[in-house]
Amino acid sequence: MKSLSIKLYWATALLSIANVGHTLDYAGVQLHGFASQGYFLSDGNNFYGDSQRGSSEFMEAGINANWLANNKLNVAGQLLTRDAGATDNGSVKIDYLFADYKAIENELSGLGFRLGRVRNAYGFYNETRDVLVTRPSILMPQAIYYEGNGLRELLFSSDGAQLYSYWDDSENSTSFSLTLGRNKSLSKDVIANILGGTSQIVARGNLNYPLFAQLSHNIAGGRSRIALSMFDIGLEFDTNFQGASSLDLYANGYVLSAQHNLQRWSFTGEYSLTTVKFEAGQLGSATTEIEASYLQAKYRISPALSVHGRIEYSATPDRRNQTDTQHLMFGLKWSPTANWTVAADLYGMRGTSGIPEIDNAGQTNERTELLALMLGYHF
């Protein structure tokens, strides 16, 4: 188990800055941050550490800043530390850092460019997935966001350029973004998360020219919203295995997202279809499709307290009986103050999709029950 003192150090450091963060808003600079600590208890499989005995190996803390240089240019960045069992090691990293230039802007529309490490628009929640108060539950929907598979590093941000635009009227708004990433090397953690035990034969891995695009539309001031996200990712692994000096993986697909908000109820659904192709030199190649979806309902008992439930499903269409996975979740979220959030979720999982293989030494069971508790702070 990772040292609890290290986690407490980062949480304490962030909370100490929080006292300044409320007032640090001058010369065009704004500072915000967040910290959360979770506790997992499971049966069947481990989830983020040895959760079958109780695990506190789920911690997130970040500090982000935004500097408005002038009416057209601003710079934004975030430092993040994240511990998620064996899928993330808690090291401090630059989560995103980019310059944002608004080339065209008027009262109803705008067009701009971002350059650097930019956040990818993917589904409804990818860009705010680390802040407890802004995501739909303690764990992101596994079927769409691959949280338990440890693929956050691939999905959250890209090193490259992003084009964005928006069009507004009195009630509705439409936005578009296109991200073109450059090649970059993959960390050992990501390689292990993707390949599992096979990662032992991999010397290095690279992400090749990731592409993300999203078109979204808000109706009636956000009462309803829809989005279409698309992505194309190439991964290349150099190996020490005779007969396959390299392993190549190509993934592309789309996500359809929809949400409808009522006075007390919110209903959210997302559907994805992903095509994955493996190439292993003389060993041959294989192509598979992954179909996934979820539906979530949220009921606001009061402005501070809400309950939510979700059903998730994923499968390979041509082998549904062998590959289908279903997750059921029920939970609550309570914000006693504007800055603090307490959450509790209960998960029932059938199937192994979304279960961190690296936390289970490659031996996963068909069923998992999980109790997740989390305390979060943001400013």
Residue 17 has pLDDT above 90, yes or no: no
C-alpha dist (Å) from residue 110 to 105, 172, 175, 268, 322 = 4, 15, 9, 28, 48
CA-based nearest residue to 106, from 74, 73, 71, 76: 71
Of residues 1 and 122, more confidence is placed in: 122
Q: Which residues make Cβ contacts (< 8 Å) with residue 184, sequence separation at least 6?
A: 159, 206, 207
Residue 249 has what pLDDT? Answer: 87
Of residues 88 and 126, more confidence is placed in: 126
Torsion angle in degrees (nearest 10) through CA of 63, 69, 74, 79 = -20
Residue 19 has pLDDT above 80, yes or no: no
Would you give the distance in Å from CA 194 to the centre of its chain?
A: 15
pLDDT 10s digits, 268-299: 999 999 999 988 777 778 899 999 999 999 99
CA distance 65 to 67: 7
Q: Which pair of tokens denotes residue 114?
A: 């971002």
**Could you tell me the pLDDT band of residue 24, with boundaries at 50, 70 and 90?**
low
Q: Within 13 Å of residue 24, how many CA atoms lie on the same side as its CB? A: 16
Whether residue 96 contacts residue 114, with contact meaning beta carbons closer than 8 Å, is answered with no
Q: Which pair of tokens denotes residue 11?
A: 């949480």
Round the average pLDDT of the chain to a whole number and report it: 89
Nearest-5° Cα angle at 270, 365 to 287? 60
pLDDT 10s digits, 219-257: 998 899 999 999 999 998 888 776 667 788 899 999 999
User: Please, what sign has the CA dihedral across residues 279, 283, 284, 285?
Assistant: negative
pLDDT 10s digits, 339-351: 999 999 999 999 9
pLDDT 10s digits, 131-165: 999 999 999 999 899 888 778 888 999 999 999 99
pLDDT 10s digits, 46-102: 999 999 999 999 999 999 999 999 999 999 999 999 999 988 888 899 999 999 999
